[in-house]
Structure 1
Amino acid sequence: MARLSVDIGGTFTDIVLDAGGERRTRKLLTTHRAPEEAVIEGTRIVLAEAGLGFADLDLFVHGTTLATNAVIERKGARTALIATEGFRDVIAIADEGRHDQYDIFVERPAPLVPRRLRFTVPERMDVQGRVRLPLDEAAVRAVARRLREAEVQAVAVALIHGYANDAHERRIRDILAEECPGLAVTLASEVAPEIREYERTSTAVANAYVQPLMAGYLGRLRDRFREAGSTAPIHLMTSGGSLASLETARRFPIRLVESGPAGGAILAAGVAAARGEDKVLSFDMGGTTAKICLIEEGAPMKSRVFEVDRQARFLKGSGLPLRIPVIEMIEIGAGGGSLARLDALGRIAVGPESAGSEPGPACYGRGGTIPTVTDADLALGRIDPSRFAGGTIALRPERARAALAEQVGEPLSLSPVGAARGVQEIVDENMANAARVHAVERGLVVAEHTLVAFGGAAPLHAARLAEKLGISRILVPADAGVGSAVGFLEAPVAYELVRSRHARLDRFEPAPLDALLTEMAEEAGGLARNAAGGRELHETRRAFMRYLGQGHEIAIDLPSRPLSGTDPGELRAAFEREYARLFRRAIPGAVIEILSFAVTVGTRQEAPPVLPRPERRPGPAPIGTRALVLGQDDAPRDVPVYARGDFTPGMEIAGPAIIVEAGTSTIVSPSFDARLDSGGALVLERKA
């Protein structure tokens, strides 16, 4: 069986082919003007190496940051919004919160739809879904004419209480299909049928904003693969860590915003489970960003809310909210391409801006003049210029040193190496601080976790990051340089549907709730079945519950059988156990309400068997040495260089050392020793 996975990032496009029990990988610079070009080229290369053609592919799994980048860079479609009369400015008013209450100049992200393209129509549903004011269809047709005049490419329809009754939203779509053929229409009642008007509207607008771009790209990609002879189904990685069919992804592309990082979290969870690790910090550092995710008891933490285009890196509320299933992680502008410069106070600052693949870091020789983290790593000896990206990109150390000297070193009276050390310390501290914040917000001790490092740049920085966080164990999985793409191949097929329906445990009526859950299961099953390929599907149900009048809910598992009149007692007990776990106490006798229900239908993901521990023995002979800058001075020291392919399970070496492979290099600092385990992962353990 030949399985292909592709991860398009802001700097690199990663290709993984798993065929005949062998894995082949490739890293190429992302071709932003036509992303499918790098995908096709990289696929041709790995297929040729395996002696296969496009017709031999059995499965193609794809993840991409194109939707995220379109929102951040404001390069989506010309989008309009149709709302209930009187609610034109929902996305501008937002929730009236301030992510920094003491900043009188606080900036919020600009709405994706300008006010001149926000339209309203007379209609009204109440919270129970009853029609209070019928839809004015003449007003809808008048809005359609204005959409044509404004040359709008996509429209989001988000009406008050549309989650309770979507009849008016569906009728607006029908009218727009008559009046504006070819217009991409997103209904909030399909994308996010939940309470909280601002979040629901924001999600619908974002989906509409990226839909023409993503639908066009995915259509071109499908056609190019068909022209090349491939008939393999194309699945897309979603932000929630599961696979969806290409057609589902074209309808709901907003679910792809964190698809690449989600694949990395799936990889880290599998690596942890196979080694019996129950507390893991996933560390994915690529060319543009670094992603950090907490994994507890073999499963990444998940959320129903994600913010894109944050104006402040660590502050909730500073971005555009999306109500989608997502693996919870923190993402910062700290990748290999992150730009280094001096701020207004003359301090070294790194990111969030990135050189990307065009022009790229100064050492790429493609026109970049501002130093990046990759330039600093090269100047410190962490990167072999002849081996970068598997030898496909020749690096120029002299350009890296010149950029570091001009932009950082000379203004601070530092040598190029001193400037590089400063850049390295700042980016490592930025990532360590993000990890600390992420753990503290969840009441966890980050030092108790094992660090799983992957992505092209993560193994270069993992040891220093672990030292800063007090972590004593690091895992670098096989093919770490393309880790997210490897994770795609391990992801289950699944689709999650969430709908709001208010219920109280003291007034519990099981029959209507069962009907709702059955309807949701049928819809979610239909969307998952397209990607499951005949595999058996399983269903899980959850209720989002809270004490009456609280502002937020917690998820409680529901029985898979039909609900009954005896369930309120069991649900109360389950809710109070989870509430006490999170907040150390429950509130006896308080009224409990359910706001929303979730149904997930997908394939079951079996836990891998725990790997045996091989007997430790001496490592292989080094293939050479390299001058590496370590410690607090600019003087390099020669350290041994090992080829990862020369290790067999159990082999161990002492740090400091460098272990090289096609997609990345692992820096073993003097604080760590390294060995290869029986699953092919490098294990770095802090010295006694």
Structure 2
Amino acid sequence: MNRLKIGVDVGGTFTDIVGIDDNGKVFYAKTPSTPQDQSIGVVTGIRRLLADLNMPTDVVKEIAHGTTVATNTLLEHNGAVTALITTEGFRDVLQIGRQSRPFLYDLHAKRPEPLIPRYLRQEASERTIYTGTILVQLDEERLRKTVRELVAEGAQSIAVCFLHSYANAENEQRALKVIKEEAPKLYVSVSSDILPEFREYERMNTTVINAYVQPRMDHYVSQLTKHISEAGVDAPLMIMKSTGGMMTDAIAASKSVNTLLSGPAGGVLAAEFLSNISGYKNLITCDMGGTSFDVAVIQNGQVGIGNEGVIEGYPVMFPHIDITTIGAGGGSIAWIDAGGALRVGPKSAGAVPGPVCYSKGGTEPTITDAHVAIGFIGTELLAGEMKIDVDAARRAIQEKLADRLGMSIEETAEGILRVSNANMIRAIRTMTVEKGIDPRKFALLPFGGAGALQAVEHARALEIKHVIIPPAPGNFSAFGLLAAPIRYDEVVTYRARQDKVDLKKMENLMRGLEKTAMDEMKRDAVESSSMSFEYSADIRYFGQAYSLSVRIHDSSMSESTWNQVIADFHQCHIQTYGFKNEHDPVEIVNLRLAVIEKTNNADLYAKGKKVSNPVVNHTTRSVFIKDGWVPAAIYKRADLPVGYTIQGPAVIEEQGCTSVLGPGDGATIDDRMSIVVTVASVQEYEDCLHNLIMKAGM
């Protein structure tokens, strides 16, 4: 029997479902998200896909899932009542933080309040020093009393973070045992399990976030597996990690902090996969859904992985795909500020009530409504399943914005798109220009339900010559879940100056990381022969506060290997910061290992067939561009064969996405069925638009 592997990505507005059978054939479905309980939308989408294919539930062999539950819990501050137990004298580390200011010149800048109030931050009598030597053994009786007091205060989850536990976790593990004995129903997160590396503030913050979101994530996973079972599906559930790898549902429920960027990771993995089966090795990815706009960079066919970040103002340390996110999606609301200026986002209409044109109760004009008002989006979406109320969108823009601004509906809609484009282009620059990357040497790859609506204009502003619109961009993140391998990331702190490095010790530490990672992979039924290993070191100039991660290409640490790592660090430093100083000594601070399941996904995107002399029917409708209404060709993407060319202005419609080409832009369907847009320069665009408006006015 032909089996089906299903990927499900939950967005702010829609839940996207992709199924791939044993022959590599891809199927898609889309259903509105259910923010009150994401698991309902997930199971509804799976049922819809199976019903569309007329397949029984027993054909499903695996479900891969990207979720925003942990992220939303942190953003909405509705996690568990969490307590902290730390080394005596250090309970205020969580409040003090670091010297860095969020806004350098703002005299009234405020850091976000700690997730744990001071009365729930308690201390334990114990002390380990940086070498791993235990100076003070854990006082277990005092700890038992502390746990009972925290339970009485209503604590639902406890974070344990002792000083230097990365060097010796004995006291932390003893504390875990004591807490489980005193309060077996409490959730407990210990830093030596969550983040065994130095930097007490970031380690504490990351452990606290894990404790804060874990109960809700555990409940969600339990509900989801229950609903999947009730639907008659008997298949393992895998959850996307922030690194773009997969982990079991049980691991996701316990190390929930690793899912904080689970949502946007799927699409970047799909882009990396597409990069490696095509000629587009350097890509800037833009994921525009209903609520957010996420940007990542793929260089030489590889996605960038970072180890530090800030989420909702909270510093965190865990491996994650390097992504920047802003509140700008199809549902982002346009509004007028106190100074009378037009603004867009970050507030979103989301899935409920959604844009005005969806007729679900929305009253505030959004980016989607602006596209509807000027003709880029027609009278229906989702292959006719969702009707679009054009008049309602135009009326909302007029009453809420245009009349107050003294502008026409079309001018206001154009203004909404220009403001949102400026915000999105700024996010792209943050990930490229500000990191020493020239975006003109990259292609832009948009996805998400709204990504291809504005991507060509982003590329034009950044002088990017090509935009690659993949098949089913609205379901692209869900597709990435199916291309993602199982992955585990390990780290150990090892600090030594360049001239005092013990290469034998480094190699032994790396062997230890390998054993830990292999044990985790084997637990997930991955054979040794199916594992690949990627080693790296965190290095800095001696005296610097922060490090750069540098690949180690040979795990047998010879003198030549170490010298190459140092040389690579200098090059990485000049690319990141614009300078290097090869005469300054360097220092290693951490060793890292990523173990990744080897997968063969070459057939996931089958090549399309070229048709000789194809006849493709299209319609025409008027769209408003800059200064007036002009005719645009309207295509159905399913009708476009390999090699077919299109000239803008044009709109290409498909079930989960709409793509827009401007005047002067050209597009070709490549052999992987992607739309490859050649972007006109600003001057070419202006000349072509002028001619079209003149012709339309005749």
Indicate the TM-score class for this superposition, using the shorter chain for normalisation: over 0.9
CA distance in 2: counterparts of 1:572 and 1:639, whole angstroms: 55
Alpha-carbon displacement from aligned partner over 1:229-258 (angstroms, at most 9, x marks no partner): 333222111111111121211111111111
Using the size of structure 2 for normalisation, the TM-score is 0.92
Partner of 1:73: 76
Please identify, of 597-606 and 323-332, the stretch whose mean Cα deviation from structure 2 is larger.
597-606
593, 610, 622: which one pairs with 1:627? 622
Q: Which amino acid aligns with 1:638?
A: P
User: Equivalents in 2 of 1:651, 1:540: separation in Å?
Assistant: 41
- 1:26 and 1:189 map into 2 onto residues whose CA distance is 41
Q: Which residues in structure 2 correspond to 1:331-370 (within 5 Å)?
A: 331-370=325-364
Moved more, 605-614 or 213-222: 605-614
- 8 Å contact kept, 1:620–1:646: no
- Larger deviation, residues 276-285 vs 202-211: 276-285
Tell me, yes or no, if the aligned pair for 2:507 and 2:555 is still in contact at 8 Å: no
Return the letter of the residue paired with 1:204. Answer: T
**Alignment partner of 2:386: what SS?**
coil
Question: 2:436, 2:575 within 8 Å by CA — same for their partners in 1?
Answer: no
CA distance in 2 between counterparts of 1:668 and 1:581 reads 34
Q: 2:50 aligns with which of 38, 47, 50?
A: 47
User: Aligned residue for 1:62?
Assistant: 65
Structure 2 counterpart SS, 1:549: coil
Work out the CA distance in 2 between the residues paired with 1:214 and 1:559: 36
User: Deviations 1:503-537 (Å, cap 9, x if unpaired)?
Assistant: 33322334443333222222222223344554711
Q: What is aligned with 2:91?
A: 88
Structure 1 residues 606 and 581: alpha-carbon distance in aligned structure 2, compared to 1, 3 A threshold: farther
CA distance in 1, matches of 2:566, 2:599: 29
Q: Which moved more, 1:349-358 or 1:51-60?
A: 51-60
**Could you say which residue in structure 2 is the equivalent of 1:374?**
368
Map 1:236-251 → 2, pairs under 5 A? 236-251=239-254
Q: Does 1:668 align with 2:661?
A: yes
Is the contact made by 1:505 and 1:568 (CA closer than 8 Å) also made in structure 2?
A: no
1:35 aligned partner, one-letter code = Q
Aligned counterparts, 1:179-194, within 5 A: 179-194=182-197
Structure 2 CA distance for aligned equivalents of residues 485 and 182 of structure 1? 35
Report what 2:493 is aligned to.
Answer: 500
Give yes or no for contact 1:342–1:408 (8 Å, CA) kept in 2: yes
CA distance in 2, matches of 1:569, 1:422: 54
Q: What letter corresponds to residue 10 of structure 1 in structure 2?
A: G
Residue 199 (structure 1) aligned with residue 195 (structure 2) = no
Structure 1 position 627, deviation (Å): 2.2
1:592 aligns with 2:594: no
Matched residue type, 2:300: E
In structure 2, relative to structure 1, the CA distance for the partners of 1:85 and 1:665 (3 Å cut) is: same
Paired AA for residue 363 in structure 1: C
Residue 14 of structure 2 aligns to which amino acid in structure 1? F
Shift of the alpha carbon at 1:560?
A: 4.8
Q: Does 1:162 align with 2:156?
A: no
CA distance in 1, matches of 2:99, 2:570: 31
| Stretch moving more, 450-459 or 487-496 | 487-496
Q: Deviations over 1:56-109 (max 9, x none)?
A: 112211001111111011121111111111111212211121121111121322
3-state SS of 1:45 partner = helix
Whether 1:545 aligns to 2:536 is no
Distance in 2 separating the partners of 1:439 and 1:581:
11
TM-superposed CA distance for 1:489, in Å, is 1.1
Quote the Cα distance in structure 2 between the aligned partners of 1:674 and 1:512.
Answer: 56
Secondary structure of 2:79's partner?
coil
CA distance, structure 1, for counterparts of residue 561 and residue 105 of structure 2 = 47
In the other structure, the counterpart of 2:17 is 15
| Alignment-derived partner of residue 211 in structure 1 | 214
Gaps of 5+ in 1: 310-318
> Which aligned runs of 4 or more in structure 1 are off by greater than 6 angstroms?
609-619
Match for 1:464 among 445, 448, 457? Answer: 457
Whether the 8 Å contact between 1:123 and 1:136 is mirrored in structure 2 is yes
Structure 2 contact 241–265 (Cα < 8 Å) conserved: yes
Letter in 1 for 2:322: E
> Which residues in structure 2 correspond to 1:259-278 (within 5 Å)?
259-278=262-281
% identical aligned pairs: 33
Secondary structure of the 2:655 match is coil
- Rounded to whole Å, the distance in 1 between the matches of 2:325 and 2:366 is 18
The CA distance in 1 between the partners of 2:60 and 2:408, in whole Å, is 51
Question: CA contact under 8 A between 2:43 and 2:231: conserved in structure 1?
Answer: no
Aligned to 1:325: 319
Q: Distance in 2 between matches of 1:108 and 1:194?
A: 24
CA contact (8 A) 1:64 1:256 kept: yes
SS of 1:637's partner is strand
Rounded Cα–Cα distance in structure 2 between residues aligned with 1:608 and 1:22: 12
SS in 2 for 1:47: helix
Counterpart of 1:353 in structure 2: which amino acid?
A: K
Matched AA of 2:347: E
Give the letter for the 1:523 counterpart. T
User: In the superposition, relative to structure 1, how do residues 555 and 361 fare at CA in structure 2: closer, same or farther (>3 Å)?
Assistant: same
Alignment of 1:107-186 (within 5 A): 107-186=110-189
Equivalent position amino acid for 1:17 in 2: G
After TM superposition, give the deviation of residue 568 of structure 1 in Å: 4.5
Q: How far apart, CA to CA, are the structure 1 residues paired with 2:660 and 2:324?
A: 24
1:458 positional shift:
0.7
Secondary structure in 1 matching 2:31: strand
Distance 1:105 1:51, change over 3 A: same
Match of 2:671 among 675, 678, 681: 678
How far apart, in 2, do the equivalents of 1:425 and 1:183 lie? Answer: 50
| Separation in structure 2 between the aligned mates of residue 483 and residue 590 of structure 1, nearest angstrom | 46
Deviations 1:348-387 (A, max 9, x none): 111111111122122222222111111111111111232x
CA contact (8 A) 1:62 1:235 kept: yes
Query: What is the Cα deviation at residue 278 of structure 1?
Result: 2.9
Task: Give the deviation of 1:471 after TM superposition.
Answer: 1.4
Q: What is the RMSD computed on CA atoms of the aligned residues?
A: 2.3
1:681: Cα distance to partner? Answer: 0.2
Provide the secondary structure at the position in 2 that maps to 1:679: coil
User: Is this contact kept in 2: 1:70–1:76, CA < 8 A?
Assistant: yes
SS in 2 for 1:128: coil
Give the TM-score of the pair, scaled to structure 1. 0.93
Which position in structure 2 is the counterpart of 1:440? 433
- Corresponding residue number in structure 2 for 1:654: 647
C-alpha separation between the residues in 2 aligned to 1:94 and 1:480?
41
User: How many residue pairs are counted as aligned between the two chains?
Assistant: 676
Shift of 1:120: 1.4
Q: In structure 1, what residue type is equivalent to 2:354? A: G
Q: Cα gap change, 1:246/1:49 in structure 2, threshold over 3 Å: closer, same or farther?
A: same
User: Quick check: 413-422 or 323-332, which moved more?
Assistant: 413-422
Displacement after TM superposition at 1:399 (Å): 2.3
In 2, Cα distance between equivalents of 1:81 and 1:593? 32
CA deviation after TM superposition for structure 1 residue 619, in Å? 6.6
Residue 454 of structure 1 and its aligned partner are, at CA, apart by 0.8
Asked whether the 8 Å contact 1:493–1:532 carries over to 2, the reply is no
User: Structure 1 residues 398-407 or 8-17, which shifts more?
Assistant: 398-407
Q: Identify if the C-alpha distance between structure 1 residues 532 and 649 changes in structure 2 by more than 3 Å, giving closer, same or farther.
A: farther
Name the CA shift for 1:390/1:146 in 2 (closer, same or farther; >3 Å): farther
- Residues 87 and 125 in structure 2, CA contact (< 8 A), matched pair in contact too: yes
Preserved contact between residue 488 and residue 594 of structure 2 (Cα < 8 Å) = yes
Check 1:398–1:116 CA distance in 2 against 1; reply closer, same or farther (3 A cut): farther
Q: Distance in 2 between matches of 1:622 and 1:6?
A: 33
Q: Deviations along 1:178-223, whole A, 9 cap, x unmatched?
A: 1112111011111111111111111111111110111111122122
